[in-house]
Amino acid sequence: MFRHRLRVRYGECDPQGVVFNANYLAFFDVIITEFWREAVGDYNAMIEAGADMVVAESRIRFLGSAAFDDQLDFELRVARLGNTALTTRIDASVDGRPIVAGEMRHVFIDPATKQKRQMPDDIRAALEPYAEAEDRGASTPGASGADGGDGSRGRDGSATADATAPR
């Protein structure tokens, strides 16, 4: 598990005084960037070696709210290592109180052609220590699953934000 803390800035809040919902995707991007730096290293080196990632799916459930100057504690777990995709689970809390529960799926592409490609072996090896226990058996190429092992669908096949949960 990877952990990172961010402090809510005034400009990230809406007129209701809480973090504006769309800012959580920006926070997720920061968390994934810092995670990548710890687990894999230089993102640009991956691109130079012929691989990149694009966001294919995101999901956020809003469980509570955070306000200006709150410290958001994020936890990232690798939920799935497919043949061509990486799914991460990202949760945030303030003082132990759940704020959001999210999931993102990134697909690996060739930077020149923008076509989907296999996850590089060195990237897979660097990410495996962060994989949730139930995914460790499915993290090998060719693993079977409802999506053919390529990580092409989420658990329920959708990309939604739960608009009914409190902010």
Q: Are 161 and 21 in contact (CB under 8 A)?
A: yes
Query: pTM above the 0.85 mark?
Result: no
2-131 classified as CATH 3.10.129.10: yes
If we measure between CA atoms, which residue out of 145, 161, 129 comes closest to residue 20? 161
Which alpha helices (DSSP H) does the chain contain, by range?
23-39, 43-48, 121-127
The identity of residue 116, as a single letter, is K
Per-residue model confidence as pLDDT tens for the chain (167 residues)? 999 999 999 999 999 999 999 999 999 999 999 999 999 999 999 999 999 999 999 999 999 999 999 999 999 999 999 999 999 999 999 999 999 999 999 999 999 999 999 999 999 999 999 999 765 444 333 333 333 344 433 333 333 343 333 33
